[in-house]
A and B are shown apart, each in its own frame.
Chain A
Amino acid sequence: MLKQDLLGAHIKAIWLAETQQALFNSLMQVMSRPGRLDNWEQWLENSPAYLAVLATLLDGEVSLNDVHGLLTESDWPMLQAKKSEVELANYLLCDASKMVHIQPSLGTLSSPDFSATLILKVAQLSVKQGSMNLKLTGPGINGEAQVAVSGMEQAWLENRNGWCSAFPLGIDCILVDDTQIMALPRTTRVEILEAVHNGENN
């Protein structure tokens, strides 16, 4: 039996097996289709979306580094994940509005799955316009996709593109705002479009 079931009725939805099944399906779809935005509002009950992502994926078998201290102390026992150094962590939780110099694990040529998955918290994801507009191409995308991200240091994307430049090595990113999620697997080619001035193209 799972820990969450033992804790009784006041447990939030994101910790329940049934919710995690639904959230995983959404996560799988966004990972398969970069540029697709899914809204998780109905599941969150005020929990941050990044916590829902972690709740869906983590358990005691994997390690996490909370790079910017987004988690509270009480989240850790629920997640059960091992705390680990950035270089070794399976999962990294980062605030994308702050740039840090980190070196996540990129995997090895034989085992590119020994790489980190980054969960990046941004201010706003949108299919329309934002402070940074991205053109995406690659597996999972029918032609090309465009998304807009606000509240993300451009350097994150530049680093990400560097880390993913030698396939199959690389990292996979899951971007979250307050309620929406989107993924950038290592195969996605991300092009930062010229910033569009407010008021145009509306």
Chain B
Amino acid sequence: MGYVAIKGGGQAISGAEKLLEFIRTRQGETGEPLDIETIENQLYFLHSRIMSEGGLFHPKLASLAIKQSMGDTLEASFALRAYRSTKPRLIESPILDTSNMRVTRRISASFKDIPGGQMLGASTDYALRLMRTELLDESPDAFKSIAGKWLDENRYDEIPDTFPKVLDALRDEGLLPPVNEAISEQKPFDITREPLVFPVPRSAALSTMARSETGSILALAYSNMRGYGDIHPTVAELRVGYLPVMLPHPITGELIEAGEVLMTECEVVAMYEDEENGDKPSFSLGYGACFGHNEVKAISMSILDRALQSGMKNGPTNPSEDPEFVLLHIDGIDSMGFCTHYKMPHYVTFQSDMDRLRTTQEKHTNKHEEASQKGADNV
């Protein structure tokens, strides 16, 4: 039987929790609790972001995390990540081929015509950011009719499920180096099971970036875009869609489709470099991918991937090329946790700080008194 020691400060904690819960429900009788489906669909981009930063593709729990954290992205991803971290790794998928992705959007900035064609899909890229005041008071009926109407009017079933990859075409032309089979056979680094000990393989960098906080990775990638680096990327292909996840059958080992995950993938082509080993010069590549629909994150990641490859090869010449600097500062859960911890009591260390300051001050005063004494003696 467990004996419980004390309950003192616990009251404060429970009080704080109750207040938070009050804030969540303070609409009172006019309010409706957010339902999980609504969050997944109407807060689509937020939901995507939480799954990717939480590092767990679990649409239902991601919605719950958003709900219980009242929309705080850091807190929501944190809850999802903490849940994930209690789960053992039971089975591993082989490397999944994204050309099998059921694409909902794909664009290329490098060619006007790409094999299979451009497909703009759902995007805010060309939207006018005007306030849509008609949504202030949206009627449920109007809301409900929109999706049905769209489905009636669009012949979406004519769109092929999969598209060839732009990079394959570039590779066929010899503009990109051939796929390095030796690397693709290496077992990818699992950041949930192994700590990062630098230097780390590229797979460790990629998976760290895939879970990174969107704003943080954007900031570091932006530093590279602005001039603390010179990747000069071109988006060869950005695609959003559902990727089938293949898992080996636990008994037969045969690959079976376990489901699909919504993903954003970005491949950038960057300027070529001199090949020291005398190989034919070719463009270089940066790769980004994350759960959910989050294009800014995927593009930022692909740029940093390219920058980090440079840094790993030639030594970093700016922060965005330094694997330690980038990979240890982009995790939202780590950084927000540490930022928050400064609110905890630091009485003991502060006492110790005061002791040092007082001793130093005393010595300073003594020295000055001595000096002025000496000065007086010399007169």
Report A-B touching, CB under 8 Å: yes
C-alpha gap A80/B197 in the complex (Å) = 24
Task: List chain B residues, Cβ under 8 A from A111.
Answer: 197
Q: Is the CB of A2 within 8 A of B193?
A: no
Q: Is B88 an interface residue (CB 8 A)?
A: yes
Q: Is the CB of A61 within 8 A of B193?
A: yes
Q: Is A1 an interface residue (CB 8 A)?
A: yes
In chain A, what residue has the closest Cβ to B190?
A61
Q: Is the CB of A2 within 8 A of B197?
A: no
Distance in angstroms from B286 CB to nearest chain A CB is: 29
Task: List chain B residues, Cβ under 8 A from A2.
Answer: 88
C-alpha gap A61/B189 in the complex (Å) = 12
C-alpha gap A1/B232 in the complex (Å) = 48
Q: Is the CB of B197 within 8 A of A1?
A: no
C-alpha gap A1/B194 in the complex (Å) = 20
C-alpha gap A91/B193 in the complex (Å) = 18
Interface residues in B151-210 by Cβ distance below 8 A to A read: 193-194, 197
What is the total number of residues of chain B having a CB less than 8 Å from a CB of chain A? 4
C-alpha gap A61/B194 in the complex (Å) = 9
In chain B, what residue has the closest Cβ to A111?
B197
Chain A contact residues: over half helix, strand or loop, or mixed?
loop
Interface residues in A111-156 by Cβ distance below 8 A to B read: 111
Task: List chain A residues, Cβ under 8 A from B88.
Answer: 1-2
Distance in angstroms from B192 CB to nearest chain A CB is: 11
Task: List chain A residues, Cβ under 8 A from B197.
Answer: 111
Distance in angstroms from B255 CB to nearest chain A CB is: 20
C-alpha gap A134/B197 in the complex (Å) = 37
Task: List chain A residues, Cβ under 8 A from B193.
Answer: 61
C-alpha gap A2/B194 in the complex (Å) = 20
Distance in angstroms from B129 CB to nearest chain A CB is: 48
Task: List chain B residues, Cβ under 8 A from A61.
Answer: 193-194
Distance in angstroms from B244 CB to nearest chain A CB is: 25
Distance in angstroms from A105 CB to nearest chain B CB is: 15
C-alpha gap A111/B193 in the complex (Å) = 17
In chain A, what residue has the closest Cβ to B193?
A61
C-alpha gap A1/B87 in the complex (Å) = 8
Interface residues in B87-103 by Cβ distance below 8 A to A read: 88
Task: List chain B residues, Cβ under 8 A from A1.
Answer: 88
Distance in angstroms from A121 CB to nearest chain B CB is: 30
Distance in angstroms from A68 CB to nearest chain B CB is: 29
Distance in angstroms from B11 CB to nearest chain A CB is: 32
In chain A, what residue has the closest Cβ to B89?
A60
C-alpha gap A2/B193 in the complex (Å) = 16
In chain B, what residue has the closest Cβ to A114?
B197
In chain A, what residue has the closest Cβ to B87?
A1
Distance in angstroms from A3 CB to nearest chain B CB is: 9
Distance in angstroms from A16 CB to nearest chain B CB is: 16
Distance in angstroms from A130 CB to nearest chain B CB is: 41
Distance in angstroms from B248 CB to nearest chain A CB is: 15
Distance in angstroms from B189 CB to nearest chain A CB is: 12
Binary interface encoding of chain B residues 78-91 relative to chain A, with 1 for a CB under 8 A from any of its CBs, else 0: 00000000001000
Task: List chain A residues, Cβ under 8 A from B194.
Answer: 61
In chain B, what residue has the closest Cβ to A113?
B197
C-alpha gap A1/B197 in the complex (Å) = 29
C-alpha gap A61/B197 in the complex (Å) = 16
C-alpha gap A2/B87 in the complex (Å) = 10
C-alpha gap A61/B187 in the complex (Å) = 12
Distance in angstroms from B323 CB to nearest chain A CB is: 15
Binary interface encoding of chain A residues 54-88 relative to chain B, with 1 for a CB under 8 A from any of its CBs, else 0: 00000001000000000000000000000000000
Distance in angstroms from B337 CB to nearest chain A CB is: 25
C-alpha gap A1/B88 in the complex (Å) = 7
Binary interface encoding of chain A residues 1-45 relative to chain B, with 1 for a CB under 8 A from any of its CBs, else 0: 110000000000000000000000000000000000000000000
C-alpha gap A119/B193 in the complex (Å) = 24
C-alpha gap A181/B306 in the complex (Å) = 51
Interface residues in B42-98 by Cβ distance below 8 A to A read: 88
In chain B, what residue has the closest Cβ to A1?
B88
C-alpha gap A64/B197 in the complex (Å) = 22
Distance in angstroms from A169 CB to nearest chain B CB is: 17
Binary interface encoding of chain B residues 273-307 relative to chain A, with 1 for a CB under 8 A from any of its CBs, else 0: 00000000000000000000000000000000000
Distance in angstroms from B26 CB to nearest chain A CB is: 40
C-alpha gap A165/B88 in the complex (Å) = 38
Distance in angstroms from A58 CB to nearest chain B CB is: 14
C-alpha gap A193/B88 in the complex (Å) = 48
C-alpha gap A111/B199 in the complex (Å) = 12
C-alpha gap A63/B88 in the complex (Å) = 18
In chain B, what residue has the closest Cβ to A59?
B88
C-alpha gap A2/B88 in the complex (Å) = 8
Distance in angstroms from B245 CB to nearest chain A CB is: 20
5 A-B pairs (CB sep. < 8 Å): A1-B88, A2-B88, A61-B193, A61-B194, A111-B197
Q: Which 5 residue pairs are nearest across A and B when measured between Cβ atoms?
A: A61-B193, A111-B197, A2-B88, A1-B88, A61-B194
